[in-house]
Amino acid sequence: MCIDRLSVVDVGWPGHVQTLVPELERLGYHRYWATEHYSPSQSASPTVLAGVAAQCTSRIRIGTAGVLLTLAPPLRVVNDFSLLELLYPGRIDLGVAGATGGDIVVDALANGAPPQPNQYMNRLRELARLQRLTSWSNGDEQANVIGPISRSQPPLWVCGTGYVSAQLAGELGAGYAFHDHLSPQSTSGPDVLDTYLDTYLQAFTPSVFRSKPEIVVACTGAVGHSDAEAKSALTSRGLERSSFCGTPEMVHEQLQHHGERYDVAELALYVVAESFTQQLDGYRAIAELGDLASADNGRSPVTTL
């Protein structure tokens, strides 16, 4: 399949968001995904970051990849995203994930008690149920009894790397964001996506989220003026494997192969670099080769690779 859209999944320093996301919008990237990670150099508040990103842009879609439901009550998540959808209608994507945030986070939030069995699956199903309650029914002006009244709900995405998350996404009629960037070139990836598609098509009933299955594959790598420069960027971040690496021309070809391997139309990239300036240069080089800026304001699918 030919790649129609390129997006960005951001696992870096959140202080750059007000510079990064407007530039991604100008370059023609389709979505910006904020992530939840607990470390001094990353963001633990993707919902806040998504709001900031949406405030400083006007066209690019803004999502989370994803809110950790093991730590966040579904009612709070639905309320927060109903508000984001009200303020930035048609631009928000609600992505959730099942990670715990690490032992220190679990200890801090649960007094040392580990998450309960099936907690994530139960919370995900509850979140989907609450989202349906907050949507307008068949266009009727029915008051939202849970969150702020809005004519739409942000599409629900399940983020993951395995068969369980893929099956959950399919059962709920949600989109599936496969995080290849957490395990580059995962050998099971294509089979996981087949599980999502098979489950979705078997279990699908009309929902407030979407009318057909939708997949994004997140991947990580480096771009440089030379292959050696790109490899140096990976080494500086302690990465031994990546989904793409090399000059812009090499990366252009690798991303096309990556899309064909997973048979998807959208990739979300994280460019690893030794500085924020070099990272931006990488996103610019990829966008210019793919001619992303010729898209309809970065919102409509175009052939880019």
Q: Over its length of 305 residues, how does the chain's per-residue pLDDT go in tens digits?
A: 468 899 999 988 889 999 999 999 999 999 999 999 676 666 678 999 999 999 999 999 999 998 999 888 999 999 999 999 999 999 999 999 987 655 555 555 555 556 666 789 999 999 998 888 776 544 444 445 566 777 778 999 999 988 999 999 999 999 999 988 777 666 788 999 999 999 998 876 656 667 789 999 999 999 999 999 999 999 988 888 899 999 999 999 999 999 999 999 999 999 999 999 999 999 999 999 888 877 554 443 333 34
**Phi, psi of 268, rounded to the nearest 5 degrees:** -110, 120
pTM over 0.85: yes
What pLDDT does 141 receive? 47
Cβ within 8 Å of residue 21, ≥6 positions away: 32, 53, 56, 57, 60, 62
Cβ within 8 Å of residue 211, ≥6 positions away: none
Q: Coil, helix or strand for 194?
A: helix
Cβ within 8 Å of residue 57, ≥6 positions away: 21, 22, 25, 32
Q: Cis omega (within 30 of 0) on the bond before 66?
A: yes
How does DSSP assign 6-58, residue by residue?
Answer: EEEEE-S-GGGHHHHHHHHHHHT-SEEEE----STTS-S-HHHHHHHHHHT-S
Question: What is the number of other CB atoms lying within 10 angstroms of the CB of residue 232?
Answer: 14
CA distance 161 to 119: 18
Assigned token pair, 151 = 């004519």
C-beta of residue 245 within 8 angstroms of C-beta of residue 221 = yes
Four-residue CA torsion sign, 130, 136, 138, 142:
positive
Assigned token pair, 270 = 């994280």
> In terms of Cα–Cα distance, which of 266, 228, 218, 268 is closest to 250?
228
**Helices vs strands, H then E, count in the chain:** 10, 10
Half-sphere exposure of 138 (CA within 13 A, CB side): 0
112: burial class by Cβ within 10 Å (0-12, 13-18, 19+)?
Answer: exposed
What pLDDT does 124 receive? 94
C-beta of residue 137 within 8 angstroms of C-beta of residue 206 = no
What pLDDT does 146 receive? 66
What pLDDT does 50 receive? 96
| C-alpha gyration radius of the chain | 19
